[in-house]
Structure 1
Amino acid sequence: MLLLCCCFVQLLIHLVSGDVAEGDVEPLLRRKEFVTLHKWSELKLGVPEGYQQPPTLDANRYAQDKLLPVDVDVEYGDDGYHRTFLTIPRLSHGVLYSLAVVADSDNSTLLNPLLVPYPSYDWHSSFGQNCSSITSAIRTFIDDCWRLWVVDLGQINGIQYCAPQILAFDLVTDQLIHRYVIPASQYTPGVSIFTALAVDIDDSVPKAECSTAMVYIADPWGYGLIVYDMSRGQSWRIQNAHMQPDQQLTQDKTGSSGIFTVSISPRQHDKEGGDNAERRLYFHALNSFLEVSVPLVVVNNASLWTQLKNTETQNELLKEFRIVGSRGIQCESEAMDSEGNLYCSLISSSALIAWKENSDYDSDHLKVVAYNPDRLRFVTGLKVNRNNLDEDELWALSSNPELFVGGSVQTDDIKFQIIGCGVKNLLENEPCSVVINHLQNTINYYKEH
């Protein structure tokens, strides 16, 4: 296994460096030019018109340079219309609102577009005093029923003002349609900071799929997975040794980070295996080289995790968690497309890898699909969304890593950027393309000139 890991790392270095033997025509992998949707050298949140700045946000505490967006989602409408969502959790004082959307007036603005609160500023203005509002949104997920799912930490500057909650908004009306407060027994106040959210809906039952959902949330510093069944109004917590950090890896910055990602096998509508055949939940700890999976039917069975179990049953459950393989390198954000390709951004390597489900997880099947040191930096949000042509597109929120370790950057440096590429383009090593109108027009212009 160690030899295999080392081989993969050597292969990655060769691919992304562009080193070629004498006589080779071109590098094995070229630099991937992603499509840039938006980028910020200066990210500011202003008080919406008609509101006054809260007295708690005085000049000393309201530091705009402390704003750290961590998640992104792109909602597609008809004819290329789109909305772009960002979460900016209240990891420090002074964050006016933690769930934002790019203003319609700035939808085609590349540099420093205006952000406005979603769904309105009233949802954010209590700063933890009203737990029915949003205290600190950190993760989002858009499902196929036009719902925006949101995980609210309930924390401000590490203090647990409210219990974490799961919210769902109707993207047609922008109204709240579902709320669930996570029980106190399933999180640790001030410690549980959720780094991944995935939502699965059962589209095999016509007209009923949007009445339910299964929600999966990663708790990296609590070393557990929270599962929520919308139809039953019940959640449970799952813990496993693979959700903890690898103690043999001792990096100071990530050494205590456990389960960091959650991805789910796509539904395969085939006659042989059935709709739910062999579906699995994938995850990895940030401080680990291993990718791990567990059958989705096991994860979704509440009785296995909420009822007392004897030793034999506990041992059987442990066997359900399977090591898929080792990368020999750390991965941060992760997402899976509708064909079962799992993407992961490599820490400090400016590269994106892909692996096809049900193949061996080794150097022969882990494919480096993108490299770009200017675009792929510290990826805190990675999503695969279906565009209005029913095609998969991958979008990433990439940030200057210095911002997350207290470092300083130049005033005019790009601090955050949202970049995208068609999944087909990634897998076939083609130039990146997306369907959003103003971006596609720009791409076509440069192709013609």
Structure 2
Amino acid sequence: MSSTIVLCIISLVCSTFGAELKEVFSWKQLEYNWPSSEFKEEALKTDAYIPQNNLAHGISIWKDKLFVTVPRYKPGVASSLNYIKLGSEKSAKLTPYPSWDFNFIKEETNNSLKDDSSVVSAFRSWVDGCDRLWVMDTGVANITGARKAIAKPSLVIFDLKTDKLVRRYFLKDTDIKKSSYLINIVVDVNPDMCDNAFAYMPDLGSFALIVYSFADDSSWRLKHHYFYFDPLAGQYNIGGVEFQWTDGIFGIGLSKANSDGIKRVFFHAMSSTKEFEVPNNILQNETWATNTQNFNDFKFVGERGENSQASISIFDENTGVLFYTQVKKNGVACWNSKMSLKPEHTALIAHNAETLEFPNDLKIVDNTLWILSNKLPKYIYKSLDSNDVNFRIFSVPIENAIKETVCA
């Protein structure tokens, strides 16, 4: 029996290159720290909480808090923005952030936000180097059904030291289209210049990128051919579910700044196998970013290879490695940006059809790669089996993840 097969049997995750992931948390169904048993019973009775409709989707980490987003894809999501304490039991209950009061939204009775600290539907979040939590709130409940717009799409920013709202910014009407779908956010900031922060929000539905300037408290929308999906890369079969997606620009990875202070902003569409880049100073200049003459500032980086469709990506500044999900391969892959991008310069660092059925989010904290996997296609098109483990969060040291691969 080969060493690789043995590793697959004894490890939590089978990996071609031996990167063993540590399963930190796992759930069959999500449960919450309710204010009282009566509160929960009432939520169940009124369908404000339908356990099987709560899907762990995104993660962020700050000190001992691990944030977990639960989008309101379907009715009965109790709280969209939550956290658990690192070191908690494996199936820890979620605690709404900043409180129950600002997360518990009864869709059938509320048509507006209770407060600017309220979070309607968050897919992903981002912790910046200034101890702030940035949340992209779509403002829409029951996304896969009879959609209900409770609020306009907005950025919600919290001070993690005080758990207080820093700012809520509602996107401009010119930023969004009827087909807009905003489910990712990446923040570009120097911790020594916290007010000079920029948020990049890919709009995979209308193939655009929205940029927000914290200093100017303003936003603008960019269009480019590279934001579109590849019509030959939109067919999926994951977990036995066959479907077609036309998702455009999705994943964004920020490189380390060069000597001029400029970063490479890597990006790709979900339904694509190609990677592109643009200097961050191009995106941050509203006048030039929205000028069609900037077309050639966007560059084709390379091809990841067949069946390499990726959602989220994350860049490790210490190694120069870009990590990205591999949804059709039930895994996570890497590419060292010091090399040209082509299939032989990429490596699948972890893959498993069961535990990584749909890798959905990645974060890097303290030289450790964190991975959230779920069963999103089954959740959307069929239903989750409450007897199965449906959500997992893993961690692996970066050094171990790329050891003995081309990425090292």
**TM-score normalized by structure 1?**
0.77
1:442 corresponding residue in structure 2: none
Structure 1 gaps, min length 5 = 1-15, 19-26, 77-81, 387-391, 431-449
Match of 1:143 among 118, 125, 128: 128
- Residue number in structure 2 paired with 1:414: 389
* Mapping 1:112-123, distance limit 5 Å: 112-123=91-102
Q: Does 1:260 align with 2:250?
A: yes
One-letter code of the match for 1:89?
P
Distance in structure 2 (CA, Å) of the matches to 1:47 and 1:188? 37
> Within 5 A, what are the aligned runs for 1:36-435?
36-45=23-32, 47-49=34-36, 52=39, 58-59=45-46, 62-76=49-63, 82-102=64-84, 104=85, 107-110=87-90, 112-127=91-106, 128-130=111-113, 132=116, 133-157=118-142, 158-189=147-178, 191-203=179-191, 206=192, 209-251=193-235, 253-268=243-258, 273-276=259-262, 279-306=263-290, 314=292, 316-328=293-305, 329=307, 330-339=309-318, 340-386=320-366, 392-429=367-404
Count of aligned positions: 378
Residue type of the alignment partner of 1:325 = G
Q: Which residue identity does 1:333 align to in structure 2?
A: I
Amino acid at match of 1:351: G
Q: Percent identity?
A: 27
Unaligned runs of 5+ residues in structure 2 are: 6-13, 237-242
1:300 to 1:420, Cα distance in 2 relative to 1, 3 A: same
CA drift of 1:99 comes to 0.3
Which structure has the larger Rg over C-alpha atoms? 1
Change (3 A) 1:412 1:265: same
More strand by share: 2
Cα RMSD for the two superposed structures: 2.8
> Residues 25-55 of structure 1, C-alpha deviation per residue, up to 9 Å, x if partnerless?
xx99344321111100121236423984697
CA contact (8 A) 2:252 2:312 kept: no
Output the CA distance in 2 between the equivalents of 1:410 and 1:319. 48
Shift of 1:248: 3.0
> CA separation of 1:56/1:411 partners in 2, compared to 1, >3 Å: closer, same or farther?
closer
Displacement of 1:144: 1.1
How many Å separate the matches in 2 of 1:142 and 1:379? 20
Structure 2 CA distance for partners of 1:247 and 1:219, relative to 1, 3 Å = same
Going from structure 1 to structure 2, the CA distance change for 1:318 and 1:64 (only over 3 Å counts) comes to same
Structure that is richer in helix per residue: 1
